[in-house]
Structure 1
Amino acid sequence: MAAPDTSAALEPATQAPALLPASAGGGVPVHVGIIMDGNRRWAQARGLPRALGHKAGAEAARRTIEAAADSGIRWLTLFAFSSENWNRPEEEVRDLTGLLGLYLRHEVGQLVKNGVRLRVIGDRKRFGPDIAEAIITAETRTAGGTRLNLNVALSYGARAEIVAATRAIAADVAAGTLRLEDVTEALVSSRLSTAGMPDPDLVIRASGEQRLSNFLLWQAAYAEFTFPDVLWPDFGAEHLRAALAEYAGRERRFGLRSG
């Protein structure tokens, strides 16, 4: 398949006020980002088709969403499909996108019941009209959720996101509608697909791999990181609790000295 077009503009989230307060006490992070890694290795270790690994990964996502809401996390961002994933074998891409369509259609009722508001970040247009419509329907139906803000990153790449924001700002400067001195970190943040959301406090990558893989590069500048050595389909509430406990013991200094 063709390499992803990194110049494609990523659609920013609606810049509405945050539904939930951007604060949390007791050491609970406000916003947690999770890189859901290890579905293929999980399936391979069991002699199963990759599609069953991705299905098991979807079950882990369901468990984690419920555990996050129970833990008092206000925002959860799941990295479900990267812009680079389009380069995987055609059959696997078809399985992934098919599973995504099923999830969007069948899980919305449970999200509404649990008070979860869903938003998708990334280049959703690449999935075609059926999935694009399912995304809009899911976002609309869950818009009233106030217990947890769930962001799902689909066809998402942080570098493309930053490039799109930079181009939009440059166009405004060239048009004379924005002064160069008005270009600030806050302005750049407002042009990203996560506009209106708090930056992640904690990023978790399942499977033990220790890299960001083009996930929230701008937003995670001061995030804490944990790398549990568990493949994503085996990830559950106990692993989330362990990551939160580790986070609670960290001292966040945001570039400043302690004390």
Structure 2
Amino acid sequence: MSHIPAPQSDDGPPDPLHVAIIMDGNGRWARSRGLARTEGHRKGAEAVRATVTGAVRLGVSHLTLFGFSSENWRRPIEEVSTLMGLLRVYLRRDMNELEREGIRLRVIGERDRFSADILRLIEEAERRTGANTRLNLTIALNYGGRAEIVRAARHLAEAVQSGHLSPDSIDEAQVCAALYAPDMPDPDVLIRTSGEQRISNFLLWQIAYAELVFVDAPWPEFGEAHLAAALDEFRARDRRFGAVSG
């Protein structure tokens, strides 16, 4: 991730733009080339770096990547081990660059299944980049959308039981405040690679009004050009949020 020049604009700061991506197709990309699935994940890690760089160039303010779902623990031990190893490499190798380039990194999801060294790397990255504002990069790890909503409901129930919250006061804002990243704006566009057309339990609450863009390219081939094309498609749509268009 070399130095990224800031996008040029004479119109003042742009509106926040949140892009969420389901990174799909690593295994199929590898299989089509006669490679092990783990090689697809290694190539996919390179696509993450290219996409982060592209997001900054294209003026994206928030980028959320589905890195590892709570269901992914069911995969073969070798594959899970490779994914954890790549996570370690990314956090160690790119920490200084994220800090230097003004990119804030944070992780959402349940952290109880990660090893102590990975937890330390995550916490260090979040601490060192916490004040950065150029790009808010969120990686969902051991994450499930339903589990996040259940977790929020449990927190609200506990607040009611303790007398700190009235059931009648629970509204969408209260639920949002109990999510993993309550300050994160809802995604404007959700991209899924590799031609699959489903959301796979990702950001179920947050994508209520997101535009869905499905890209045929597998994740290891994804980069700035694909992101730019997806954003062009998004901007060409008429977003009505339930209202009638004029």
Task: Choose the corresponding residue for 2:184, options 197, 201, 210.
Answer: 197
RMSD: 1.1
The separation in 1 between residues aligned to 2:47 and 2:103, in whole angstroms, is 16
The separation in 2 between residues aligned to 1:254 and 1:100, in whole angstroms, is 37
The SS at the match of 2:43 is: helix
Between 121-130 and 196-205, the greater mean CA deviation after superposition: 121-130
One-letter amino acid of the structure 2 residue matched with residue 37 of structure 1: D
Deviating runs (4+, > 2 A) in structure 1?
Answer: none
TM-score w.r.t. the length of structure 1 is 0.88
What residue in structure 1 maps to residue 151 of structure 2?
164
The SS at the match of 2:184 is: coil
The SS at the match of 2:138 is: strand
1:37-116 to 2 correspondences below 5 Å: 37-116=24-103
Deviation at 1:252, TM superposition (A): 0.7
What residue in structure 1 maps to residue 14 of structure 2?
24
One-letter amino acid of the structure 1 residue matched with residue 46 of structure 2: E
The separation in 2 between residues aligned to 1:165 and 1:149, in whole angstroms, is 22
Deviation at 1:199, TM superposition (A): 0.4
The SS at the match of 2:28 is: helix
How many residues end up aligned between the 2 structures? 234
Matched, 1:255 2:245: no
The separation in 2 between residues aligned to 1:180 and 1:24, in whole angstroms, is 38
The separation in 2 between residues aligned to 1:162 and 1:24, in whole angstroms, is 31
What residue in structure 2 maps to residue 155 of structure 1?
142
The SS at the match of 1:127 is: coil
Q: Deviations over 1:30-80 (max 9, x none)?
A: 101000000011111111111111010010000000100111110000000
What residue in structure 1 maps to residue 132 of structure 2?
145
- Choose between structure 1 and 2 for higher RCO, CA contacts under 8 A separated by at least 6 residues: 1
The SS at the match of 2:79 is: helix
What residue in structure 2 maps to residue 15 of structure 1?
none
The separation in 1 between residues aligned to 2:42 and 2:26, in whole angstroms, is 8
Unaligned runs of 5+ in 2: 1-12
The SS at the match of 1:251 is: coil
Matched, 1:183 2:170: yes
Question: Alignment identity in percent?
Answer: 56
What residue in structure 1 maps to residue 222 of structure 2?
235
Unaligned runs of 5+ in 1: 1-22
